[in-house]
Amino acid sequence: MAAEYSADQAGPESELQMPEMEAPKQTKAKTAGVYLEVMSKAAFQGGMSWEVVEVKWLRTREWFRNFDSVQVAKMTPSDIDRLAKNERVIRNRRNLEAVVTNAQRLLETKHGSVKKYLPSHGDFESTVPATKKDFKFGEGNGERAMLHAIRGEGEGASA
């Protein structure tokens, strides 16, 4: 007869160990494509394991034409259909569609560039809701991760 198990008797060795999450690495964005890539990665990481995103990111970047905003903005629903079936990339359809939408919005920003868009809202906390409203991030706090990664001390680049 097997011994009964009680969760109350479990020792610390039986606890799940969650990997430590790190803040996104900061980067100086030199093009709209860099903003798009950072924004996209933040969106994907909001809904799944960061490790899965890292493993599949190279192929995802290739399929999104190295996040060239002009090329991504031209992607069609058929392109997204093909991507959603490819096991070598991140296949979250909502996020795949968001990448295309965000590329279009980056190109259409009323400020002329992301470099001008970000500071137009003031400080970090004021920029968060505006960015969340203007772009798609999926689950989690992707807009905060993206702004941390590209805004840093308010610096940007011509994009």
> How many helices (H) and strands (E) would you count in the chain?
8, 0
CA-CA-CA-CA torsion for 146, 148, 153, 154, nearest 10 degrees? 30
pLDDT of residue 89 exceeding 50, the answer is yes
Question: Residues 118-128: pLDDT tens digits?
Answer: 788 888 888 88
Question: pLDDT at position 17, please?
Answer: 47
Query: Tokens 């308010």 correspond to what residue?
Result: 154
Question: Residues 33-64: pLDDT tens digits?
Answer: 888 998 898 888 877 788 888 899 999 999 99
Question: pLDDT at position 28, please?
Answer: 64
Question: pLDDT at position 19, please?
Answer: 47
> What is the CATH classification number for the domain harbouring 144?
1.10.340.30
Q: Which domain holds residue 94?
A: 26-151
Task: Tell whether 84 is covered by a domain.
Answer: yes
Task: Tell whether 3 is covered by a domain.
Answer: no
Task: Tell whether 60 is covered by a domain.
Answer: yes
Question: pLDDT at position 25, please?
Answer: 61
Task: Tell whether 51 is covered by a domain.
Answer: yes
- pLDDT category at 90 given cuts 50, 70, 90 is confident
Looking at the 3D structure of the chain, how many domains does it have?
1
Task: Tell whether 137 is covered by a domain.
Answer: yes
How many CB atoms neighbour CB 155 within 10 A? 13
Task: Tell whether 79 is covered by a domain.
Answer: yes
